[in-house]
Chains A and B, each alone.
Chain A
C-alpha cells in the first residue's frame, strides 16, 4: 500500500486521511437503517481504496443468543469450514469468538450485498478497508479474516489485501484467534483504536449477565448519533456499578494473565482458576491507545495490550470511581473528534522494547527515554503495570529464545535421520523391508536404530511439549523449514514406532495404534504439513499406513471378517503415495507385512488389483 510521509499512519500502513474517513463512516454506519448493515465509500487516490463500515445491532438476541446462560461470556467456536486458519494447528484447538457478533456477520454475508462489494473491489484490485465503531468493530474483524482466508485459499498475494480499522470495539476474540492471526502474519492488518477512558473495549471481560442491561438498553441509545448529547442522561449510580464490575473482572483476568507471564509456580493459582470465571477474550492485532492528552501509543504485543487495557483505566484513588465511570461514556463517543485532532500530531509512540521499559515515573536522563516516560505517565501506568508490561516483553523474548534453542537441535535431528536413512538402505540390501526388519529386531543394527528412534522422540517430544504450553512464537508452526523437517521425520521414523507398537502387542493393551497409541509428535507434524499445503484433514497418513496394514493382518489371523472399506482405502492411498514418492519401494519387497496381507486377498479384490503392479514390479 502506498505510504504517506511521516505520521501515525505510516507505520501502520494506512494514511491518516483514510483512518479519519473510516472513522467518520463507521460512526455514520450506526445511523443506517437495519436493512443496510454497512456503508461503502471510496477514497480517491492512487490506488483508490474502498471503505466498508459496519454497524452492529445491539439488540438483545445479538449479544447473547442464548440469554447468556450457556456460556458466561457468550463465546462459541468458529466454523472451521469458513475460517480454516483460525485454530492452533498442532494442539488442534479451534478459536472462539463472541457468538452473537459472529452470527450477525454470517447473516450479513448471507443476506446483503457485502459479497458482491468485496468481489468488485478485488476485481478492480482496490484495497478494501473494513471499519467499525463500537459493536461494528467485531464484524469488521470477521469480514477481514474472511477475505484473508479467501486470498489464502486462492493463493493470491496480499499486496492489495484488506485492512481492518476498529474504533472502540469490544474484545470478541480469544487467545487462539490471536495466535492464529499472528501465525498467518495477518496481525499488522488489524488496527484497533482505543480511547483509554472508554469502557466499551473492556466490557466483555465481565460476564454477560452483569453487563447485559447496559449493552442492550443504554448503549444502542447512545451510539445512534441523534442521541449524542444525551450521554449524561444515564443513571450515574448504575453506571458506576457497571464500571466497578467491569474493572473488577478486568483486574481479575489481567492479574491472572500477569501471574502466568511472570511464571508463578504457586499451585494455588491452578486451583483458584477453577473457581472463578475468566473471560476468554484477548486482543488481536495492533492497538493504538489514545491518551487523555491526545498522545497516540501503538502496541503490538498482545499480552502487553491486554495488561494495558486494564491498567490504563486503573483508578488512582477510590473516590475517583464515579468520575471515571461517567467519563467513560463520552470517551466512547469521542473517536471522531479525538482522531481528527490528534492524528495530525506526529508523535505516535511505539512501545516496542518492552523488556527495558523504565519503571520510575520521573526519569529525565535523555530525550528518548523522556518521551517514553511521559507516554507511560499519560497512560496512567503504575510501577506494577510497567512490571507487567516488562513481563509481557520478557515472555515474547523467551519464546524467541526457545525457538533459537530448538533450532540448534536441528543438526542433531538431521544426523539421526541420516543414520536411520542408512539403516533403511542396509535393510534393503538385506532384502528385508525397513518396517519388518525393525519389527523382528534380530541384528544389532535394529537395536541401534531403536536407540536412535528414542533419541529423536525425546527431541520432538520436548518441542511438542513447548507447543502445548505455548512456549514457542506464534509463527513457529508455519515455518517452512520445520514443517519440512517434521514431515521427513514423520515419514522416516513413524514406521519404526508402529513396528515397535505391534512388536510389543501394545494393541492388545491399549487398542489400535491409530486411535489409541499414536504419539503426539506424529499427529502434530502431520497437521503442520496439512495446514501448510492446505490439504484436507487426515490426508497425509503416508507415514502410518503400516498400522492399518497390521490391523488388517491381525484381522486375517484371527479370522475376523475383512474390513473391505479399509482395505480399499489403504490400497488406493498407497498407490497415490507411491506415485508421489512418499512411500518407498521397500514397502513392496517380498515378505513385508504389506505383501503378506496382499497375498491373503482374493484375486478379484479391488484392493488386490489396485497395487498389483507395484508389488509385482
Chain B
C-alpha cells in the first residue's frame, strides 16, 4: 500500500525529472530547483572515477568522522560496545568535495546555497548549449550571493528533497545525512527526504543502526529495479579495478549524459563478462544475506526504505535483513542480458509507476480469503514474483519477516502510560527516602548517605528501586531505537517528559553515588565524560527539545526540590579530587591549573546556590559539598583571617542577614573567611532587585 502511495505522489516523478537534468549536465553536476514549495537538489549519476575507491591505499569503508570536519555531530559519538559508523570512502570523498566546493568564501551551508541556485538559475538562460559555462557562471554568482537572500529562501522552502541517480544517489544520501545532522541543532521538524535511484550501498550496519536511533530512517528511500545490479554491489577494489567494470560504467555514463541514444554497439562487453558481473553481484548479496545482522562496521548494509519496482508494481520494505534477502532473491531471477540496460531503465519505470497507480492491478487467479495471505500474495504480485515458483515461497517468507509482528508504535505509546504508572511507586519511594534524609538529624543530605551506605535495609531497598527504574527507562529507549514508538512520541506525550525529568532529577545523583562508591571512576574515568548512561543523555535531550513557549524569568523562592543540574554531584566529586591533589601537593606543576578549575567550580556552584537551583540537601551541614566548601575556603584563607576575632569563625554562631544586604559581602565572607553558607540566616533577607 505504501508503495502505491509513493508512486501516486508527484514526488518520485519530480525527483526523477530533476535527476535526469543533473545527469545531462555531465560529470559531477548538480541541480537545484523549487517546485511548489519543495526544494529539489539532484546529483548527477555521472561522477568522477575516484568515487569508486580508486586510491588503493584507502580502505573501502572509512569512519564517517575520519574527515575530521565535524560535519555529522550526532553520528560521531559511539556508545559503549558500538563500532564506529563507516561509510564508503570514495563517496565520502566526493561528498566532501561537494561540500568544500560550495563553501567557497562564506560559511553558508551548502544546501541552502543550492536552493538559492534556483533563483540564479531562472535568471540565466536555462540549460544553455555550453553547460560548463553555465556552471562556472553559477559558481561565480554564488560567491556574490548575499546571505540575506539565502535566508529568505530558507524561509520559502521548508522541505527539501535530495535526490540522485546511481552513485549520485549515494552522494545524495551523505548530503542528506549531513543536512539532517546540521538541522538537528536548528529546528526539529524533519523535512528532508532523500530519494536514490538505483544507488549502491554506502554505509555499514553500525551506521544503519545509528540512523534508526536518530529516527531518520523515514528520510531515506532507495528506488531499486528488480534486476539492477548497481544497488546490490559493494564497490570494492576487487570489482572497481576490473576492466569489465570500467567498460560497463563508462557505457552507463555515456548513456546517462545523452539519455536519448543508447548505443549498445559501443559496449564492448562479452557475454562472459556480463555473466561474471552478474555472478559478482549475486555473490555479494549472498554474502550479505548469510552474514546477517551483527556485521558492525565491516560490511555494507542497507538503511532507510527500499522501494522495489517491477513491471507489475511496487513494494516498500524498511527492515534491513529482509531488504537484503529480497534483493538477493530478485536478482536470482535476472539474466545476464538485463544487467546492462536495467540500470538505465529508471526513467521508464518511474513514468510507468505514476501512470500505474490509477489503474487496477491485474492478478491471475483468485486471491486467498484471509486478508493477511491476500495482501502477501498481492505484494508478491507487485514485484512480479508471483509466477516465479522458484523464489515465490522464499520471497513470501521474506515479506512475512518484514511485516512487523506485535503491536503498532501508537499502541505501544499508549501502553507506556500504564507501565509508567506501575513503575511510578518506585520513584515515589525514592522521593520519600529523600525527604527522610532531608529531615534526619545527621544532616548528611541525600547523596552521601546513599554513597556511604552500609548494610542498611532501607538503602538497599532504594538501590533496588533505582535499578528497576533504570531498567524501565532503558527499555523505553531501546523501544525507541527499534522504532517501536511513534516518531515524535517524546514531544507529543507530555507525561513522558514530565515523568522522565522527575526520574532524572531524582535518581541520577544516586547513580553518580553508586558510580563513585564502587570505584568505577578509577577504572573508567570521570562520570560525566565516561560513565554517564546513555538514557540520561537522551532524557536531557528530550527535556531541552520540549516545546517551551516562553522562558520564565522569575527567581526561585525556595531551594528546588531536586538539584536542577543532575550531574552536580559528579562535579563535586571531581572538585574533591582536585582539592585532594592540591593538598597532597602530588603534582606541583599543575597547581595553578587545579586552582583555576576549582575556582571555576566554585563560581558554578555558587551560582546554582544563589539561584536556588540546588536542592536543600546539597547545603545540609554534613554533606560532602558543604565539607568541600569548608576545606576549600580554609585553603584559601589568607592572612586576613588572623585579624578576625575567633568567634567569627566559630561554627555555632549564625549570622542574621539584614534585609538590605547584598550577595557580594556574603560571598566575600564565605570565600575568604571560610564561613559556611548554612551559617547565614536569610530570614529577613529580601532578594536584591
Which residues of chain A have a CB within 8 Å of any CB of chain B? 244, 247-248, 251-252, 255-256, 258-259, 262-272, 274-277, 314-318, 321, 358-363, 380, 382-384, 387-388, 390-391, 394, 441, 447, 450-451, 454-459, 461-462, 465-466, 468-469, 471, 503-505, 508-511, 519-520, 554, 557-558
Q: Label chain A's interface by main secondary structure.
A: helix
Q: Does B221 make an interface contact (CB < 8 A)? A: yes
Q: Does B557 contact A (CB under 8 A)?
A: yes
Residues in A whose Cβ lies below 8 Å from that of B404: 265
- The interface stretch among B104-112, B411-419, B459-467, B648-656 is B411-419
Whether B5 contacts A252 by the Cβ 8 Å rule is yes
| Closest beta carbon of chain A to B444's beta carbon, Å | 21
Given A266-B318, A462-B417, A508-B556, CB of A358 within 8 Å of CB of B369: yes
Stretch at the interface among B43-51, B288-296, B351-359: B351-359
Besides A382-B360, A458-B419, 11 new A-B residue pairs in contact (Cβ under 8 A), listed by A number: A251-B8, A259-B2, A274-B191, A275-B11, A318-B355, A359-B368, A388-B1, A457-B495, A461-B421, A465-B413, A466-B414
Chain A neighbourhood of B161, CB < 8 A: 275
The reply to whether A276 and B424 form a contact with Cβ atoms under 8 Å apart is no
15 pairs, A vs B, C-beta closer than 8 Å: A251-B4, A252-B5, A259-B2, A268-B2, A268-B218, A271-B190, A272-B193, A391-B371, A458-B420, A465-B417, A466-B414, A469-B410, A469-B414, A511-B550, A511-B552
**B8 to chain A: which residues have CB within 8 Å?**
248, 251-252, 255
Residue in contact with A360 in the complex, picked from B215, B361, B367, CB distance below 8 Å:
B367
Within 8 A of A (CB), among B3-35: 4-6, 8-11
CA distance in complex: A8, B189 (Å): 50
A383 near B363: Cβ-Cβ < 8 Å = yes
Q: How large is the interface on B (under 10, 10 to 19, 20 to 34, 35 or more residues)?
A: 35 or more
Q: Are B432 and A447 in contact (CB under 8 A)?
A: yes
With A258-B1, A318-B359, A450-B428 as known contacts, state yes or no: A267 contacts B318, CB within 8 Å: yes
Contact A509 B552 (CB under 8 A): yes
Chain A residue nearest in CB terms to B410: A469
The CA-CA distance from A464 to B429 in the complex, in Å, is 27
Question: B149: CB under 8 A from chain A?
Answer: no
Alpha-carbon distance A602/B595, docked complex (angstroms):
56
- Of A359, A462, A505, the residue contacting B369 (CB under 8 A) is A359
In angstroms, Cα B494 to Cα A555, docked, is 27
Residues of A close to B363: CB separation below 8 A: 382-383
Is the pair B193, A275 in contact by a Cβ cutoff of 8 Å?
A: yes
> B590: CB under 8 A from chain A?
no
B159 CB contact (under 8 Å) in A275, A383, A462, A510: A275
Q: Which of B218, B404, B558 has the most CB of A within 10 A?
A: B218
Q: Hey, which chain A residues are within 8 Å of B358, CB to CB?
A: 244, 247-248, 251, 314-315, 318, 321
**Contact A384-B361, Cβ < 8 Å, known A267-B218, A272-B11, A275-B159:** yes
Considering only residues 124-150 of chain B, those with a C-beta below 8 Å from chain A are none
Cα distance A510–B497 in the bound complex, in angstroms: 12
- Are A276 and B10 touching (Cβ within 8 A)? yes
Is B375 a contact of A248 with CB atoms below 8 Å? no
Nearest 4 A/B pairs, CB to CB: A458-B421, A267-B218, A461-B417, A360-B366
Q: Which one of A272, A361, A462 contacts B6 once the chains associate, using CB atoms below 8 Å?
A: A272
Taking CB atoms, residues of chain B closer than 8 Å to A508 are: 552, 554, 556-557, 560
**Residue in B closest to A393 when the chains form the complex, CB atoms:** B371
Chain B residue at minimal CB-CB distance from A465:
B414
Contact (Cβ within 8 A) B360 A316: yes
B361 and A382 form a contact (CB under 8 A): yes
Contact B424–A454 (Cβ < 8 Å): yes
B100 in the interface (beta carbon within 8 A): no
> What residue of chain A has the Cβ atom nearest to residue B418's Cβ?
A458
> How would residues 397 to 434 of chain B score, 1 for a CB under 8 Å from any chain A CB and 0 otherwise?
00000001000111101110111111011001000100
Pairwise interchain contact B305-A266, C-beta atoms closer than 8 A? yes
> What is the minimal beta-carbon distance from B611 to any residue of chain A, in angstroms?
10
Contacting residue for A387 out of B374, B409, B483, B560, CB 8 A: B374
Is B38 close to A, CB under 8 A?
yes
Q: Are A268 and B6 in contact (CB under 8 A)?
A: yes
The answer to whether A259 and B361 have CB atoms under 8 Å apart is no
Nearest CB on A from B468, distance (A): 15
A505 in contact with B558 (CB, 8 Å) = yes
**8 Å CB interface, B554-577 against A:** 554, 556-558, 560-561, 564
Q: Which residue of the partner chain, among B11, B552, B554, contacts A276 with CB atoms under 8 Å?
A: B11
Q: How far is the CB of A113 from chain B (nearest CB, A)?
A: 44
- Nearest A residue to B687 by beta-carbon distance? A558
> Among residues 233 to 274 in chain B, which have CB atoms less than 8 Å away from a CB atom of chain A?
none
Closest chain A residue to B369, Cβ basis: A359
- List B contacts of A262 (CB < 8 A): 1, 375
B224 within 8 Å of A by Cβ? no
A520–B494 CB distance below 8 A: yes
The residues of B that contact A382 with a CB separation of less than 8 Å are: 360-361, 363
For the complex, give the distance between the alpha carbons of A262 and B355 in Å.
Answer: 24
Q: How many Å lie between the Cα of A394 and that of B369 in the bound state?
A: 15
A266 and B421 contact, Cβ closer than 8 Å, known pairs A316-B359, A318-B359, A359-B367: no
Q: How far is the CA of A314 from the CA of B557 in the complex (A)?
A: 67
Residue on A nearest B307 in the bound complex, by CB = A268
Say how far A105's CB is from chain B's closest CB, in angstroms.
31
B218 touches A270 (CB 8 A): yes
Contacts A454-B428, A455-B421, A508-B557 given; indicate if A315 touches B1 (C-beta within 8 A).
Answer: no
Residues of chain A within 8 A of B219, CB atoms compared: 271
Q: Assess whether B487 is interfacial by the CB under 8 Å rule.
A: yes
Residues of A within 8 Å of B354, CB to CB, are: 248
CB-CB contacts below 8 Å: B524-563 with A: 550, 552, 554, 556-558, 560-561
Q: Which of B357, B421, B552 contacts A457 (CB 8 A)?
A: B421
